[in-house]
Chains A and B, each alone.
Chain A
Amino acid sequence: MSVTMAFYQRPSTGPCAALATRMQAVVPVLTTARLTLRAPMIEDFTGFAQMVLGPRGAHFGAPATAEEAWAIFLQMTGAWYLRGHGAWAVTLSDTGALLGFVQIGAEPGDREPELGWILSEEAEGKGYAREAAEAVRAQAFGPFALPSLVSYVDGANTRSLALAERLGATRDRAEEAALAPILAPGESLAVYRHHPEGGPR
């Protein structure tokens, strides 16, 4: 089935494309054994919207509508130019296929930089999220020299809780207690603190 791309989903051409490319060069390309992490591009939006408009969108603002997903997509891209960190599109190096996104986010209300991830349903269960998150963590503590990095994980999100554990992150109970008053009734939040070499020092 062929799908006609709406006008707003098409990438820019000519001098606009050139300027976009110059701005995207701020985002370092990270490579791992199987993956290439690169700057988000307009062509990634449809995939992003499919991923975040569901129960797995928690690390990316949990949008309820395509309009909100669009705002978050632009925001996580724009973060690079105000914060020096933002979102990467995670692609399979062999094919270029879009698998998901990993970000060092700057959400309103965050008290420190947040490592978040999302994969498409098809890409889950293959270790891609861990591989991508480890590369971003290394970038965060290495070249970016961030003083700290946490992940806010919904207490009901067993898959993300397990990944945070596999990444060697440790629960920060004091931070959880500090954030408890701002949670919605019935909401539980695990704060995982990341460490440069994986495990706690």
Chain B
Amino acid sequence: MSTPSAIPVLTTEHLTLRGYRETDFYPFAAFAASERSRFVGGPQTRDEAWRSFMAAIGHWALRGYGMWVVEHRESQKVVGRVGVILNDGWHEPELGWHIYDGFEGKGYAYEACVAARRYAAEHYDITPLMSYIDPANTRSIRLAERLGCHFERDVEVRGKPCQLWRHPGVEGMA
């Protein structure tokens, strides 16, 4: 199908950010079923994960932006997803990142986020972005700080309290 060709492909030192293939569902579902997905609406059953997987592609078709699949180029392994999300009830577009089990701590989230937000700023004029972070998600807070974000305010998203972190504008970006 034409998803991969329509969704822009971004290349960083180690990673390729690209559109979706059906085989990307397996690592997607494994992450969605894991305890680690609790900060991003999980854990989900396999059926729920299938809905979410199709929805992630539908987001691109409806908005013209969305979350990329992040592939580690050398190993060709999918290490997570990064990109811009604007869901029902969101205050504004959000830069989101999900790094799958076994691929944390290697700087992939940082590398992919830097590329994704620069693309969003330069091609989409979506800047400065924000990220919603669960206050208990210390790993994501550390990444936000490393990305040059600052805590802006406490908000509620779909009835759940969370923090809104603001990314720098183009001039402040890594």
The SS class assigned to the A binding surface is: helix
A177 touches B (CB below 8 Å): no
B: interface residue count bin: 35 or more
A7-B91, A81-B2 as given contacts; A39 in contact with B50, CB under 8 Å: no
Taken together as a complex, chains A and B put the C-alpha atoms of A70 and B124 apart, in Å, by: 23
Whether the Cβ atoms of B54 and A79 lie closer than 8 Å is: yes
What is the distance, in angstroms, from A190's C-beta to the closest C-beta of chain B?
Answer: 22
A72 touches B (CB below 8 Å): yes
Of all chain B residues, the one with the shortest Cβ separation from A79 is: B54
Query: A20-28, A30-38, A135-143: which one contacts chain B?
Result: A20-28
Query: A8-16, A126-134, A149-157, A191-199: which one contacts chain B?
Result: A8-16
Whether the Cβ atoms of A73 and B58 lie closer than 8 Å is: yes
Whether the Cβ atoms of A15 and B59 lie closer than 8 Å is: no
A75-B51, A75-B55, A82-B22 as given contacts; A8 in contact with B61, CB under 8 Å: no
Contact among B64, B65, B89 with A67 in the assembled complex (CB-CB below 8 Å): B89
Whether the Cβ atoms of A108 and B46 lie closer than 8 Å is: yes
Contact among A15, A26, A109 with B47 in the assembled complex (CB-CB below 8 Å): A109
For residues 101 through 136 of chain A, which have their beta carbon under 8 Å from a beta carbon of chain B? 106, 108-109
Interface string of A59-74 (1 = CB under 8 A from B): 0000000110111111
Contacts of B20 in A (CB 8 A): 81-82
Whether the Cβ atoms of B62 and A74 lie closer than 8 Å is: yes
B40 touches A (CB below 8 Å): no
A88 touches B (CB below 8 Å): no
Whether the Cβ atoms of A20 and B63 lie closer than 8 Å is: yes
Contacts of B12 in A (CB 8 A): none
Whether the Cβ atoms of B61 and A15 lie closer than 8 Å is: no
Whether the Cβ atoms of B6 and A15 lie closer than 8 Å is: no
What is the distance, in angstroms, from B123's C-beta to the closest C-beta of chain A?
Answer: 6
What 7 additional pairs, Cβ within 8 angstroms, besides A7-B90, A70-B88?
A: A8-B88, A23-B2, A23-B61, A26-B1, A77-B58, A80-B61, A82-B3
- Ordered by A's residue number, 6 sampled pairs between the chains whose C-beta atoms are within 8 Å are A17-B64, A21-B64, A26-B2, A75-B55, A76-B54, A78-B57
Task: Spell out B's residues near A (CB within 8 Å).
Answer: 1-3, 6-8, 20, 22, 46-48, 50-65, 86-92, 123-126, 158
